[in-house]
């Protein structure tokens, strides 16, 4: 699969919203204003995948000062619609994958894995102090869970009934993490 991977721009937001609505049910879909804010606050973490010039996926990430499953498990950090600026710290040691979506007709063909690997590798290069990557996945999303397990992520906690699709079955949010193996760098 030939994907072009690049940083998203404001002109991409209509396509991002179409991907978001195609990937997630109402009640889980983020609002356009959330994506606008992410792009404004931390454009480095907003990445887009294209095939034949058309957007087929995106990944949004944030860098946090720190995060620990035992001492710093504040569920507000993960809330849908949270303000990306609240915990953002470009010199932080935790990369949080806030959202990722792939067009339905590209799922199962490796586009999600390619986007995820490329985006995480790029962000780790750009932010060398990052020592862990954290994300939340719905307990019912088997394909996404398999992707993350295949990339070495393990369960660090859960958020009860975190995902509440309109008219659908609620699902716990599984908080997954992966240590990068990097040694902490001095401030």
Strands 94-102, 54-64: parallel, antiparallel or unpaired by DSSP? antiparallel
| Residues in the chain, overall count | 187
pLDDT value of position 80: 86
pLDDT value of position 186: 57
pLDDT, tens digit only, all 187 positions of the chain:
689 999 999 999 999 999 999 999 999 999 999 999 999 999 999 999 999 999 999 999 999 987 776 566 777 888 888 899 998 999 999 999 999 999 999 998 899 999 999 999 999 999 999 999 999 999 999 999 999 999 999 999 999 999 999 988 899 999 999 999 877 655 5
Residues 6+ away with beta carbon under 8 Å from 52: none
Closest CA to 116 of 64, 80, 153: 153
Helices (H), the chain: 13-23, 32-41, 111-126, 142-150
pLDDT value of position 68: 72
Q: Per the structure block, which two tokens stand in for 129?
A: 């102090």
Q: Per the structure block, which two tokens stand in for 23?
A: 């990937």
Q: How far apart are CA 34 and CA 13, in angstroms?
A: 11
- Give me the domains of the chain, ranges plus CATH numbers: 4-179 (3.40.630.30)
- Residue 3, helix vs strand vs coil: coil
pLDDT value of position 21: 97
pLDDT value of position 185: 59
pLDDT value of position 19: 98
Tell me if 44 sits within 8 A of 102, measured CB to CB: no
């Amino acid at each position: 699969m030939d994907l072009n991977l690049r940083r998203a721009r404001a002109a991409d937001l209509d396509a991002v919203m179409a991907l978001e609505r195609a990937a997630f049910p109402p009640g889980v879909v983020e609002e356009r204003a959330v994506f606008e804010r992410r792009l404004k606050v931390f454009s480095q973490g907003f990445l887009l995948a294209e095939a034949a010039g058309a957007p087929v996926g995106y990944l949004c990430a944030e860098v946090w000062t720190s995060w620990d499953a035992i001492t710093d498990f504040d569920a507000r950090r993960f809330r849908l619609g949270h303000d990306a600026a609240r915990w953002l710290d470009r010199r932080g040691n935790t990369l949080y994958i806030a959202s990722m979506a792939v067009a339905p007709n590209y799922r199962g063909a490796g586009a999600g894995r390619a986007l995820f690997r490329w985006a995480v590798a790029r962000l780790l290069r750009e932010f060398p102090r990052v020592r862990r990557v954290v994300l939340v996945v719905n307990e019912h999303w088997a394909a996404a869970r398999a992707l993350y397990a295949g990339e070495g992520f393990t369960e660090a906690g859960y958020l009860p009934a975190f995902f509440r699709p309109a008219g659908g079955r609620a699902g716990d949010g599984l908080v997954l993490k992966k240590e990068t193996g990097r040694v902490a760098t001095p401030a």
